[in-house]
A and B are shown apart, each in its own frame.
Chain A
């Protein structure tokens, strides 16, 4: 099996953005891969654009970083001219402008989430072609394929902050279990009127899902260990 260490860094990724009653919760895994090699197992894919707006990055690591940098720069100027914090809508539109106009060259899917005083907590998805769509929740990255059914069942309006964060952590953890390009730790960012909170959930502390094995010291221990836990909803 060849590793191809010269392959461009991609963030296979699972990214999620969810609104709740009072703000938004953004979540992501932490794996950056170069072909089959994990270049960074603890990356931070949730990037700050302004004090009140963050973006989850997926796809090409380089492309998503450059787009974020440009938009952060534009938003900074915009904030100065406006005299007050930029809105989430404007941030999403600037991201969309870059993503759409450079669609032939870029390969990055982004989820913009934040809080402003006019609209409250908002999530905007900006997938590959440069569409911008406002959603109550958004999922993206290679790991998101495994989450569509999960969200259909588990999503509900007006969750509390705790419910929303638990939902996000659970979802990222499920995706990590199934998607080879997602892994590492789960990072979350909660944004509301009071400010921004970052949380960190180490990979080995996450709940085990169907057929996942406990971390082992020796493979011989498997022979004596109890069976795996059934999957819980």
Chain B
């Protein structure tokens, strides 16, 4: 039943291998500005090669809105690995994943070693950005959270439709990203193992899900850590069940107050 076809956009890349270390600390977990009031482009939004008088490229902002309307995706870097939860859909994601695979393959065939996560995320970001430069291409309508394990340990990157890419300790995109980010900031990630992280992330996703507004959802999680032998895999079923149960219990406790 679980055909994780949909959430591939928010899939993670895995590379076991070398190099790369981003020395500067990642920016705090905040993303785009909230555009609650939708400003109309009125003529300046017809093409991605048009600037508005106030210096905005509306097509890129609309692309970001496409992401905001999709289900929430959360990723966190624990002290020993990465955990990502997927609960949404992104059609363009498949294309990005194909490109990421191709870039990783090409790096390996030229340099003879697995692609460092930083390098891969920069190449994917470059490709996403490319699609914002020409009028005959449209920007990608999906964000990517990319997690991997290379010679410098586990790393988490996020790439937005504009082509920006940063390294994060925790990241969220989609509908409930603001709330998710608030929850993530409460966690002490540097002291958390991946096993604990799985439970925490499940709790966050369940918390964000509004029974009234949203449709029923299916929680999928994947991770890359020592326990998964530094390979990307779906979180094992028993741990996933444990996480779901813990999350539901936590919700009930909250409601009971």
Give residues in A with beta carbon < 8 Å to B.
78, 81-84, 87, 89-90, 92-94, 96-97, 118, 132
* Chain A residues near B18 (CB-CB < 8 A): 87, 89, 118
* Chain B residues near A83 (CB-CB < 8 A): 20-23, 118
Per a CB cutoff under 8 Å, which of A82, A97, A118, A132 touches B110? A97
The 11 listed contacts between A and B (C-beta, < 8 Å) are: A82-B20, A83-B20, A83-B22, A83-B118, A87-B19, A89-B18, A89-B113, A90-B112, A93-B110, A94-B111, A96-B112
- Let me know if B19 and A93 touch, CB within 8 A: no
Q: In the complex, A83 Cα to B24 Cα: how many Å? A: 11
Q: In the complex, A118 Cα to B113 Cα: how many Å? A: 13
- Let me know if A118 and B19 touch, CB within 8 A: yes
Tell me if B's interface is mostly helix, strand, loop or mixed.
Answer: loop
* Chain A residues near B19 (CB-CB < 8 A): 82, 84, 87, 118
Across chains A and B, which 9 residue pairs bring their CB atoms closest together, nearest first? A93-B112, A90-B111, A118-B151, A89-B113, A82-B19, A93-B111, A90-B113, A84-B21, A89-B112
Closest chain-A Cβ to B104's Cβ sits at a distance in Å of 15
Scan residues 114-165 of chain B and give those whose CB is less than 8 A from a CB of chain A.
116, 118-119, 122, 151
Q: Please name the residue on chain B nearest to A85 by beta carbon.
A: B19
Q: Please name the residue on chain A nearest to B20 by beta carbon.
A: A82
Q: In the complex, A90 Cα to B20 Cα: how many Å? A: 13
Q: In the complex, A174 Cα to B141 Cα: how many Å? A: 67
Closest chain-B Cβ to A49's Cβ sits at a distance in Å of 14
Q: In the complex, A96 Cα to B111 Cα: how many Å? A: 10
With A83-B21, A90-B113, A132-B112 given, name 15 new contacts (CB 8 A). A81-B119, A81-B122, A82-B20, A82-B116, A82-B118, A83-B23, A84-B20, A87-B18, A87-B19, A89-B18, A89-B113, A92-B112, A93-B112, A93-B113, A118-B151
Q: In the complex, A87 Cα to B119 Cα: how many Å? A: 15
- Let me know if A82 and B119 touch, CB within 8 A: yes
* Chain A residues near B122 (CB-CB < 8 A): 81
* Chain B residues near A87 (CB-CB < 8 A): 18-19, 113
The number of residue pairs between A and B whose CB atoms lie closer than 8 Å in the complex comes to 38
Closest chain-A Cβ to B139's Cβ sits at a distance in Å of 24
* Chain B residues near A96 (CB-CB < 8 A): 112
Q: Please name the residue on chain B nearest to A82 by beta carbon.
A: B19
B interface, size bucket = 10 to 19
* Chain A residues near B20 (CB-CB < 8 A): 82-84
Q: Please name the residue on chain B nearest to A96 by beta carbon.
A: B112
Closest chain-B Cβ to A105's Cβ sits at a distance in Å of 20
The listed residue with most A CB atoms (<10 A of its CB), out of B21, B22, B111, B119, is B111
Q: In the complex, A83 Cα to B118 Cα: how many Å? A: 10
Q: Please name the residue on chain A nearest to B112 by beta carbon.
A: A93
Closest chain-A Cβ to B157's Cβ sits at a distance in Å of 14
* Chain B residues near A81 (CB-CB < 8 A): 119, 122
The listed residue with most A CB atoms (<10 A of its CB), out of B21, B112, B113, B151, is B112
* Chain A residues near B21 (CB-CB < 8 A): 83-84
Closest chain-B Cβ to A80's Cβ sits at a distance in Å of 12
Closest chain-A Cβ to B107's Cβ sits at a distance in Å of 10
Closest chain-A Cβ to B23's Cβ sits at a distance in Å of 7
* Chain B residues near A93 (CB-CB < 8 A): 110-113
* Chain A residues near B22 (CB-CB < 8 A): 83
Q: Please name the residue on chain B nearest to A78 by beta carbon.
A: B111
* Chain B residues near A118 (CB-CB < 8 A): 18-19, 151
* Chain A residues near B112 (CB-CB < 8 A): 89-90, 92-93, 96, 132
Closest chain-A Cβ to B219's Cβ sits at a distance in Å of 36
* Chain A residues near B151 (CB-CB < 8 A): 118
Closest chain-A Cβ to B129's Cβ sits at a distance in Å of 16
Interface residues as binary, B13-41 with A (CB distance below 8 Å gives 1, 0 otherwise): 00000111111000000000000000000
Q: Please name the residue on chain A nearest to B111 by beta carbon.
A: A90
Q: In the complex, A98 Cα to B25 Cα: how many Å? A: 37
* Chain B residues near A82 (CB-CB < 8 A): 19-20, 116, 118-119
Q: In the complex, A78 Cα to B119 Cα: how many Å? A: 10
* Chain B residues near A78 (CB-CB < 8 A): 111
* Chain A residues near B118 (CB-CB < 8 A): 82-83
Q: In the complex, A48 Cα to B33 Cα: how many Å? A: 49
Q: In the complex, A89 Cα to B17 Cα: how many Å? A: 12
Q: In the complex, A90 Cα to B19 Cα: how many Å? A: 10
The listed residue with most B CB atoms (<10 A of its CB), out of A90, A92, A132, is A90
